[in-house]
């Protein structure tokens, strides 16, 4: 039993500690992410059946691909990546990137060269060391079995770059988890003059006014009505109970007791006057409807839907115009029977539409409403710090190449052979050019000119 | 005002013309190695690039509007940054031979970008943020670095498969000679074929070695990956300010995440001897396809918060 568990453990470590496995996880992560780009997220089932063949639509819904980023697949793959990253960091990265000083067989390492230098062993050793020191290499000496080895390192500290990058990812993951555990977000639309209590925070927001600015621009492809500003004037009452007037604009959220409120959208609410046999029906006429809202007509199976507001009706065609500024406003109303649309009409403001059985509806006046998003995210500092840590890890990993030189000085004939091999954390090719230049420099700095039969070309590629 | 506008258009014409002529010269140089072609193409690349940056500045001067917030401006910066990064590589590592491809791609993107020029247009409210000014150039620069990586990956793959062909041909020849021996090493075969007068082999020998090309691709990705990371981070900071959440799973940011993942996979595989080279270069090619999807495909095919095209 114990051996079975330990064999299982070994398999787990071997699999999760393998970079190729990690890359496989990345690939799955990438594919899931891409599915979310291609398949519209958070739509109703009918939308998928309208856009895809039935079998695919069914699969999308069953597999949770309609909300993929919160599906068990997605959370699971991130979890597996975190496990793999942890195992890999301890089992692979640390041993591989922080190797102890040890002797090597110089000519077995692809990046190697040896040069011949005249002089006694001690003096050559000193000169070689001071050469490397003067080039910014940090030199250490060790004895192994009575033989002296010199090790020269560059950017040794940067060996930790990978660890920093990996740590950054873990911190970001922690930050997003904090939001899941303790954060919240929501949205609310407030009609001008009305107040709303935010359920999660108990803050009260009253919309005093909303303004939008549209700039018409004549472009090559015709008139474009470019929105250039959305501003909500609100009175907010937070935890201290003191109402304050504030301004919310796009890119300028407000902070009430740690929760941020954002300008997200706007629209036109309409007050409809509803009459039955010429008598005002107060219970229905008092309501202000937002776009998309509906009410049932009493005593019938009809539902009146306020589809949308039309700021400008084109005088000539009688159809909605592109201008989003309010000139000749109308509303689009539709009547539904048992969930099916029975008819739709464009109804100018102050005119009435007859719904049959003595019912009449008159869109009387419009009021702007402003849509707000609010969000409390205590994970943000962690995500921010994690991002910076991750970024520093990447920069350290990519721009500071830790390289180690293994240097041996062996007496030969009237001088010494200096053998040098180099290893980096990214293979040999990346250091080949520098190695060659370094060795040439070493040779010329050692050299009282004369024949040097032992110089071998650095074996770069 | 009109004079300014003309300066703006003139600079764009100079840039496109320089890229087209310089690109052609360098494309021919890629095959022929006639030095005069490089001496013509390289300065034109620099002239075109400078003209493009000047054009962006002039546009900003005229309109007072940050010129990178529409597809025209951003594609223009993409072309300019691609050429600028390439010039950096070409000067540092003597790589002008690949300039024809970079300039040709830059010219195509630039010409496409010009079709999106709608004239002066104030930005919509969500784009009115200093983050937009930081985020867009960073992301576009990362795409530019990936373009340079893509071009050198293509050169790598061309060289790799051509070498294979020569090596295989050598196997056949030696098999015929020795009655069935096997020869597996590619590069000596290349040198031998070049020495034997094979023009393809001689041409291949003028290119950097596969190992050197691979390192160049790595260096380009090493510029692109931190930049796209920073791009995603600044985008998140901006989204937090504009839309209320730093991450909304909007198609554009999600596609950028995919791009980030594929280059992260590239970097991880590049630490493995067995994967460094042929396979990582194919990943770099695939990565660039995803870059183009993220950059243009998402705007064209998929709607979302980021699709500012009209
Ligand atoms: C998802 C977030 C991750 C990030 C941002 C990240 C980042 C990095 C970076 C920047 C490097 C250095 C590459 C180079 O020097 O060229 C690296 C190397 C490495 N990473 Fe990751 N990594 C991540 C996930 C993982 C995972 C899940 C594993 C699990 C196996 C892993 C294992 C490794 C290994 C083994 C190395 C190479 C170490 C070596 O052999 O020298 N990484 N990583």
Q: Is B170 found in the same domain as B36?
A: no
Q: Is B246 found in the same domain as B216?
A: yes
Of the candidate ranges A367-376, A379-388, B190-199, the one whose mean pLDDT is the lowest: B190-199
B219 CA to middle of ligand 1, Å? Answer: 17
Say which CATH topology domain A106-155+401-460 has: TATA-Binding Protein (3.30.310)
pLDDT, tens digit, 9 for 90 and up, residues A389-446? 999 999 999 999 999 999 999 888 778 999 999 999 888 888 988 999 999 999 888 8
Is the pLDDT at B304 greater than 60? The verdict is no
Is the pLDDT at A296 greater than 80? The verdict is yes
Average pLDDT over residues A208-214: 89
Asked if the structure places residue B25 within a domain, the reply is: yes
* Nearest CA distance, B47 vs chain A (angstrom): 29
Q: Which of B197, B213, B246 is the last residue of a domain?
A: B197
Chain B residues with CB-CB distance to A185 below 8 A: 244-245
pLDDT, tens digit, 9 for 90 and up, residues B126-142? 777 778 889 999 999 99
Q: Which of B151, B175, B197 is the last residue of a domain?
A: B197
Q: What pLDDT does residue B310 have?
A: 27
Share of chain A above pLDDT 70, in %: 96
Q: Do B125 and A228 touch (CB under 8 A)?
A: yes
pLDDT band (50, 70, 90) for residue A318: confident
Average pLDDT over residues B155-172: 82
- The model carries a pTM of 0.85
Interface of A with B in 237-276 (CB under 8 A): 249-253, 260, 262-264
Is the pLDDT at B117 greater than 60? The verdict is yes
Asked if the structure places residue B152 within a domain, the reply is: yes
Q: What pLDDT does residue B181 have?
A: 31
Q: Is B188 found in the same domain as B103?
A: no
ipTM > 0.90 for the complex: no
Q: Do B211 and A432 touch (CB under 8 A)?
A: yes
Domain that holds residue B180: 163-197
Q: Is B32 found in the same domain as B180?
A: no
Counting atoms of ligand 1 from 1, which one is nearest the CA of B222?
16
Residue nearest to atom 43 of ligand 1 (CA): A162
Average pLDDT over residues B40-54: 95
Is the pLDDT at B174 greater than 80? The verdict is no
Q: Is B261 found in the same domain as B212?
A: yes
- Count of domains for chain B: 2
Asked if the structure places residue B50 within a domain, the reply is: yes
Q: What pLDDT does residue B309 have?
A: 33
Asked if the structure places residue B310 within a domain, the reply is: no
Q: Is B139 found in the same domain as B244?
A: yes
- If one compares A4 and B79, the residue with the highest pLDDT of the two is B79
Share of chain A above pLDDT 90, in %: 42
Is the pLDDT at B306 greater than 80? The verdict is no
Q: Is B148 found in the same domain as B12?
A: yes
Is the pLDDT at B3 greater than 70? The verdict is no
Average pLDDT over residues B51-75: 86
Residue nearest to atom 6 of ligand 1 (CA): A166
Asked if the structure places residue B44 within a domain, the reply is: yes
* Nearest CA distance, B50 vs chain A (angstrom): 27
pLDDT, tens digit, 9 for 90 and up, residues A161-189? 999 999 999 999 999 889 888 889 888 99
Q: Is B19 found in the same domain as B104?
A: yes
Chain A residues with CB-CB distance to B241 below 8 A: 251-253
Per-residue three-class SS string for chain A: CHHHHHHHHHHHHHHHCCHHHHHHHHHHHHHHHHHHHHCCCCCCHHHHHHHCCHHHHHHHHHCCHHHHHHCHHHHHHHHHHHHHHHHHHHHHHHHHHCCCCCCCCHHHCCCEEEEEEECCHHHHHHHHHHHHHHCCCEEEEEEECCEEEEEEEECHHHHHHHHHHHHHHHHHHHHHHHHHHHCEEEEEEEECCCEEECCCCCCEEEEEEEEEEEEEEEECCEEEEEEEEEEEEEEEECCCCCEEEEEEECCECEEECCEEEEEEEEEEEEEEEEEECCEECHHHHCCEECCCCEEECCCCCEEEEEEEEECCECCCCCCECCCCCCCCCEEEEEEEECCEEEEEEEEECCCCEEEECCEEEEEEEEEEEEEEEEEECCCHHHHHHHHHHHHHHHHHHHHCCCEEEEEEEEEECCEEEEEEEEEEECECHHHHHHHHHHHHHHHHHHCCCCCCCCCCCCCCC
Q: Do A250 and B125 touch (CB under 8 A)?
A: yes
Q: Is B169 found in the same domain as B147?
A: no
Instruction: Map out the domains of chain A as residue ranges.
Output: 2-97, 106-155+401-460, 283-359
Q: Is B217 found in the same domain as B96?
A: yes
Q: Is B231 found in the same domain as B179?
A: no
A164 CA to middle of ligand 1, Å? Answer: 10
Q: Is B183 found in the same domain as B70?
A: no
In this complex, is the C-beta atom of A377 within 8 Å of any C-beta atom belonging to chain B? Answer: yes
Chain A residues with CB-CB distance to B225 below 8 A: 394, 398
Pocket of ligand 1 (CB under 6 A): A 19, 22, 81, 84-85, 88, 92-93, 96-97, 162, 165-166, 169, 390, 393-394, 397, 425-426; B 264, 267-268, 270-271
């Amino acid at each position: 039993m114990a051996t079975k568990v330990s064999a299982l453990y070994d398999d787990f470590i071997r699999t999760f500690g393998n970079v190729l496995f990690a890359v496989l996880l990345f690939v799955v992560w990438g594919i899931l992410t891409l599915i979310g780009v291609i398949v519209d997220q958070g739509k109703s089932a009918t939308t998928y059946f309208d856009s895809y063949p039935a079998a695919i639509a069914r699969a999308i819904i069953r597999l949770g691909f309609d909300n993929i980023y919160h599906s068990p697949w997605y959370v699971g793959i991130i979890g597996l990546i975190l496990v793999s990253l942890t195992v890999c960091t301890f089992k692979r990265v640390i041993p591989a990137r922080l190797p102890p000083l040890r002797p090597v067989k110089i000519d077995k390492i692809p990046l190697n060269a040896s040069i011949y230098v005249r002089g006694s062993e001690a003096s050559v050793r000193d000169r070689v060391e001071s050469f490397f020191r003067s080039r910014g290499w940090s030199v250490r000496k060790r004895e192994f079995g009575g033989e002296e080895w010199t090790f020269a390192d560059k950017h040794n500290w940067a060996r930790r770059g990978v660890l920093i990058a990996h740590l950054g990812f873990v911190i970001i993951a922690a930050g997003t988890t904090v939001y899941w555990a303790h954060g919240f977000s929501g949205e609310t639309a407030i009609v001008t003059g009305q107040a709303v209590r935010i359920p999660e925070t108990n803050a009260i927001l009253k919309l005093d006014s909303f303004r939008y600015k549209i700039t018409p621009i004549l472009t090559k492809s015709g008139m474009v009505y470019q929105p250039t500003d959305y501003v909500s004037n609100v009175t907010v009452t937070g935890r201290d109970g003191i109402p304050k007037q504030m301004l919310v604009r796009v890119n300028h959220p407000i902070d009430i007791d740690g929760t941020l409120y954002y300008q997200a959208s706007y629209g036109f609410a309409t007050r409809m006057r509803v009459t039955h046999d010429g008598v005002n029906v107060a219970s229905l006429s008092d309501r202000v409807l937002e776009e998309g809202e509906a009410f049932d007509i009493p005593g019938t199976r009809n539902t009146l839907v306020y589809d949308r507001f039309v700021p400008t009706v084109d005088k000539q065609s009688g159809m909605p115009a592109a201008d989003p500024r309010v000139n000749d406003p109308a509303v689009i109303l539709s009547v539904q029977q048992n969930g099916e649309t029975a008819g739709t009409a464009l109804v100018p403001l102050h005119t009435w539409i007859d719904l049959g059985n003595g019912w009449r509806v008159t869109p009387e006046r419009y009021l702007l409403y402003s849509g707000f998003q609010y969000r409390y995210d205590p994970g943000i500092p962690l995500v921010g710090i994690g991002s910076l840590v991750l970024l520093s890890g990447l920069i350290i990993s990519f721009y500071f190449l830790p390289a180690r030189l293994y240097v041996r000085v062996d007496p030969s004939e009237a001088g010494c052979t200096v053998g040098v091999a180099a290893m980096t954390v990214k293979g040999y090719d990346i250091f080949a050019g520098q190695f060659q230049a370094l060795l040439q420099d070493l040779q010329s700095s050692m050299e009282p000119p004369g024949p040097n039969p032992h110089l071998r070309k650095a074996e770069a590629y | 005002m009109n004079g300014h506008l003309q300066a703006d258009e003139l600079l764009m014409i100079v840039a496109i013309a320089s890229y087209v002529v310089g690109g052609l010269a360098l494309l021919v140089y890629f095959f022929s190695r006639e030095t005069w072609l490089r001496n013509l193409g390289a300065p034109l690349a620099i002239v075109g690039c400078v003209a493009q940056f000047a054009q962006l500045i002039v546009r900003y001067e005229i309109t007072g509007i940050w010129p990178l917030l529409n597809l025209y401006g951003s594609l223009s910066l993409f072309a300019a940054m691609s050429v600028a990064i390439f010039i950096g590589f070409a000067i540092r590592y003597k790589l002008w031979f690949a300039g024809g491809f970079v300039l040709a791609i830059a010219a195509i993107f630039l010409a496409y970008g010009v079709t999106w020029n709608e004239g002066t247009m104030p930005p919509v409210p969500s784009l009115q943020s200093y983050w937009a000014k930081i985020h867009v150039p960073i992301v576009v620069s990362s795409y530019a670095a990936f373009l340079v990586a893509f071009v050198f990956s293509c050169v790598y793959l061309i060289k790799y498969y051509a070498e294979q062909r020569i090596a295989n041909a050598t196997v056949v020849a030696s098999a015929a000679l020795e009655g069935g021996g096997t020869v597996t090493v590619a590069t000596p075969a290349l040198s031998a074929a070049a020495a034997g007068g094979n023009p393809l082999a001689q041409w291949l020998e003028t290119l950097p070695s596969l190992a050197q090309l691979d390192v160049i691709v790595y260096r380009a990705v090493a510029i692109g990956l931190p930049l796209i990371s920073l791009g995603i981070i600044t985008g998140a900071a901006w989204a937090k300010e504009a839309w209320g959440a730093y991450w909304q799973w909007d198609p554009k940011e999600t596609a950028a995440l995919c791009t980030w993942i594929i280059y992260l996979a590239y970097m991880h595989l590049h630490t493995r001897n067995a994967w460094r080279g042929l396979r990582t270069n194919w990943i770099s090619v695939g990565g660039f396809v995803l870059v183009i999807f993220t950059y243009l495909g998402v705007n064209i095919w998929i709607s979302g918060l980021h699709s500012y095209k009209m």
